Amino acid sequence: MENGDLLFVPAVETGLSGAINNVTQTERKTSYDHIGIVKKESDHLYVLHAAPKGGSQKQKINHFLKEQTKLGQKIDVYRLKAEYKVSIPNSVAKAESLVGKPYNFNYILDDHSYYCSDFVERAFRDHEIFALEPMTFVDPKTNKTNAFWEKWYQDKNLKVPEGEPGCNPNGLAASEKLNKIGELQ
């Protein structure tokens, strides 16, 4: 693995993971609900990411894998194409500067808390590796706001941010600036 590689965690069918995947899946082969950035320091590998448990953090890769993988699950590894690798040192440094910020449970962009794909997009933002797109919370099967998200925002006394700018792991994985290079188990 190299500095700046991206780790995509496959979604499960239920709860928050299933709700994220339900409204963001781009195609059957990409079904992700979490993402992190590999940081290589000497002989050690870390993952920079934002998670509900711990917020924006730097974890040893073995701890990340233990927390993020379900029984027998593989994590997909993506790498920037050669022409974009120049962005990695600055982007990894930017991600490290975000460590310690809380998790953004509202999934509405702000500069004080981050959700996983927001964390990664911001790390690479100066190099325009990823793009923000209008968010959707609509279940493609029913064409209505997904019930999980309806309740999620209702409980927070917030309007569902349909159409607001944002990002998600499936959208980031679809970037033409990345190649899938393998899997970790």
Q: Quick one: pLDDT band at residue 17, thresholds 50, 70, 90?
A: very low
The pLDDT value recorded for residue 19 is 53
Packed helices 88-98 and 116-124: angle between N→C axes, nearest 10 degrees: 140
Whole-model pTM over 0.85: yes
Closest CA to 108 of 146, 164, 170: 164
Cα dist. 49→115, 148, 164, 165, 177 in Å? 8, 24, 22, 20, 20
Closest CA to 173 of 54, 69, 13, 20: 20
Closest CA to 47 of 132, 128, 123: 123
Report yes or no: 144 and 138 within 8 Å, Cβ to Cβ.
Answer: yes
Report yes or no: 128 and 65 within 8 Å, Cβ to Cβ.
Answer: no
The pLDDT value recorded for residue 90 is 97
The pLDDT value recorded for residue 23 is 52
pLDDT tens sequence across 23-44: 554 454 568 889 999 999 988 9
Q: What is the dihedral of CA 32, 35, 40, 44, to 10 degrees?
A: -80
- How many C-beta atoms surround the C-beta of residue 158 within 10 A? 12
pLDDT tens sequence across 141-172: 889 998 889 999 999 999 999 999 999 999 99
Q: Quick one: pLDDT band at residue 185, thresholds 50, 70, 90?
A: confident
The pLDDT value recorded for residue 33 is 86
Report yes or no: 118 and 166 within 8 Å, Cβ to Cβ.
Answer: yes
d(Cα 68, Cα 77) in Å, to the nearest integer?
14
